[in-house]
């Protein structure tokens, strides 16, 4: 796609962006040289066969880029639904980067970051719809709080209700609470709230252990310090790993309740729910082995098996009661597939860092 300068916000040619951010962020002179040439905001969207959602995302995003030095970068992971052709024809102001193959969410975002030049970098899922100007308030907060590195806004569902967009770091205890459904039974309990933080108040701005990767706004200086997303995480888990690395580097992460957007959720995973459930477990295994070792990963796998066994038992009870037969059979198939994957995953080992 040719470089264009149409619309009310500026774009830089692909060659003008900063080099790929290394884990150590380069030396000080390199970072200072890069910062002097930054525009205000780079918005990066990775897409894979989500044309319908991406169109709505870009259309809703455009008005809030008006009047600011902003670039929008779409990284397409070899969509087969005409995404590239549509973006090129309907959104000429967008910088389009076709990857030629499905490289995964983490690597797609890293490619977008490598081609970006914003002082602040925003990662947005393709199935996000903007209903308000999120960026003015979020950027102002980051400027007023120079010790905050990462910001995540309030997530709304399709009915405009507040949805969960934070988590705790995985532990054996909160994983077990999740597997046994204790976090659902004892909602609001800090002890039994589980990894899904059923006790977290999403109505007020507060620090969070994990900000989910549907919509993240980061300082480039912090990104230089911590490094890019770990590309060994293909579809899930990269946000948990990233937040853990930010915390290890002493960088604060804040849930920001004063900005909000709609997240449809599952635009890509809905196409193959069983496969993507297993991908989620695979990513969690990568996280456990990377940060806690192989024994911890094996213990996590046993909890996953327990979780699916409990779900399977619940499905059998529903079938006995002749309730929701077709949906229940699908859930049983999903649980059996996950349990089978767990049984075959004892020899899995995390690939070495690149």
CA dist., res. 219 & res. 235, Å (int): 23
Query: ∠ CA 5-8-11 to the nearest 5 degrees?
Result: 40
Of the candidates 220, 239, 267, which is a domain's last residue? 267
- Local structure of 167: helix, strand or coil: strand
Residue 108 is assigned to a structural domain of this protein: yes
Q: Which two tokens stand for residue 288?
A: 């456990």
Convert the pLDDT of each residue in 147-181 to its tens digit. 999 999 999 999 999 999 999 999 999 999 988 88
Query: ∠ CA 301-288-282 to the nearest 5 degrees?
Result: 60
Mean pLDDT of 9-27: 36
Q: Are residues 262 and 274 in the same domain?
A: no
Q: Quick check: 324 pLDDT over 80?
A: no
Q: Quick check: 11 pLDDT over 70?
A: no
Mean pLDDT of 248-273: 85
Nearest to 40 by CA among 1, 66, 21: 66
Q: Are residues 298 and 211 in the same domain?
A: no
**Confidence band for 271, pLDDT divided at 50, 70 and 90:** low
CA dist., res. 70 & res. 54, Å (int): 18
Nearest to 298 by CA among 167, 172, 174: 172
β-strand partners of 217: 122, 151
CA dist., res. 206 & res. 4, Å (int): 40
Q: Are residues 334 and 218 in the same domain?
A: no
Q: Are residues 278 and 224 in the same domain?
A: no
Q: In this structure, how many other beta carbons lie within 10 angstroms of the beta carbon of residue 318?
A: 17
Q: Quick check: 16 pLDDT over 70?
A: no
Of the candidates 214, 234, 267, which is a domain's last residue? 267
CA dist., res. 171 & res. 308, Å (int): 18
Query: For all residues of the chain together, what is the average pLDDT?
Result: 85
Q: Give the total number of structural domains in the chain.
A: 2
**Confidence band for 329, pLDDT divided at 50, 70 and 90:** confident
Beta strand 206-207 with 215-219 is: unpaired
Q: Quick check: 31 pLDDT over 70?
A: no
The reported pTM is 0.82
Helix axes 294-320, 325-343, angle to 10 degrees: 160
Residue 232 is assigned to a structural domain of this protein: yes
- Local structure of 110: helix, strand or coil: helix
**Where do we find the tokens 């780079």?**
42
The percent of residues in the chain predicted with pLDDT above 70, rounded, is 84
At residue 139, φ and ψ (nearest 5 deg) are -65, -40
Residue 147 is assigned to a structural domain of this protein: yes
Q: Are residues 236 and 312 in the same domain?
A: no
Q: Which two tokens stand for residue 189?
A: 């309990």
Nearest to 75 by CA among 125, 112, 117, 122: 112
CA dist., res. 330 & res. 34, Å (int): 51
Residue 171 is assigned to a structural domain of this protein: no
Q: Compute CA 89 distance to the chain's CA centroid, rounded to the nearest angstrom.
A: 27
Query: DSSP H helical segments within the chain, as ranges?
Result: 28-35, 51-61, 83-90, 105-114, 134-144, 172-179, 182-185, 220-226, 238-248, 273-292, 294-320, 325-343
pLDDT (0 to 100) of residue 298: 92
Domain limits at 292? 270-343
Mean pLDDT of 70-98: 96
Q: Are residues 208 and 62 in the same domain?
A: yes
What Å distances lie between residue 94 and 4, 17, 39, 74, 135, CA to CA? 8, 15, 15, 7, 18
Comparing 235 with 148, which gets the higher pLDDT? 148
Q: Are residues 27 and 108 in the same domain?
A: yes
Comparing 53 with 315, which gets the higher pLDDT? 53
Q: Quick check: 346 pLDDT over 70?
A: no
Of the candidates 249, 267, 285, which is a domain's last residue? 267
Q: Are residues 106 and 246 in the same domain?
A: yes
Q: Quick check: 254 pLDDT over 90?
A: yes
Contact residues for 102 (Cβ-Cβ < 8 A; gap 6+): 48, 77, 78
Q: Are residues 230 and 305 in the same domain?
A: no
Q: Which two tokens stand for residue 242?
A: 């990233």
- Local structure of 64: helix, strand or coil: helix
């Amino acid at each position: 796609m040719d470089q264009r300068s149409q619309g009310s916000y500026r774009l830089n040619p692909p060659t003008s962006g900063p080099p790929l951010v290394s884990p150590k962020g380069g030396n000080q002179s390199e970072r200072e040289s890069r910062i002097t040439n930054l525009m205000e905001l780079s918005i990066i969207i990775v897409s894979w066969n989500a044309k319908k959602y991406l169109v709505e995302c870009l259309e809703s995003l455009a008005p809030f880029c008006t009047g600011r030095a902003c670039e929008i970068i779409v990284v397409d992971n070899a969509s087969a639904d005409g995404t590239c052709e549509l973006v090129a024809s309907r959104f000429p102001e967008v910088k389009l980067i076709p990857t030629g193959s499905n490289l995964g969410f983490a690597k797609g975002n890293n490619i977008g970051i490598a081609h970006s030049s914003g002082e602040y970098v925003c990662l947005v899922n393709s199935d996000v719809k903007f209903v308000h100007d999120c960026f003015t308030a979020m950027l102002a907060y980051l400027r007023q709080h120079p010790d905050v590195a990462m910001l995540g806004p309030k997530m709304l569902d399709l009915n405009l209700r507040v949805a969960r967009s934070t988590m705790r770091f995985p532990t054996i205890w909160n994983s077990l609470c999740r597997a046994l459904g204790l976090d659902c039974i004892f909602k609001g309990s800090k002890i039994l709230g589980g990894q899904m933080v059923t006790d977290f108040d999403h109505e007020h701005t507060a620090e969070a252990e994990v900000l989910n990767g549907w919509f993240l706004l980061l300082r480039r200086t912090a990104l230089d310090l911590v490094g890019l997303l770990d590309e060994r995480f293909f579809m899930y888990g990269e946000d948990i790993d990233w937040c853990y690395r930010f915390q290890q580097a002493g960088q604060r992460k804040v849930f920001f309740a004063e900005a909000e957007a709609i997240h449809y959720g599952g635009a890509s995973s809905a196409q193959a729910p069983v496969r993507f459930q297993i991908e989620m477990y695979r990513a969690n295994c990568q996280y456990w082995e990377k940060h806690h070792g192989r024994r911890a990963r094996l213990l996590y796998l046993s909890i996953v098996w327990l979780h699916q066994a409990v779900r399977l038992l619940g499905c059998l009870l529903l079938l006995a009661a002749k309730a929701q037969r077709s949906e229940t059979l699908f859930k049983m198939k999903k649980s059996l597939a996950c349990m089978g994957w767990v049984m075959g995953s004892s020899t899995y080992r995390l690939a070495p860092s690149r």
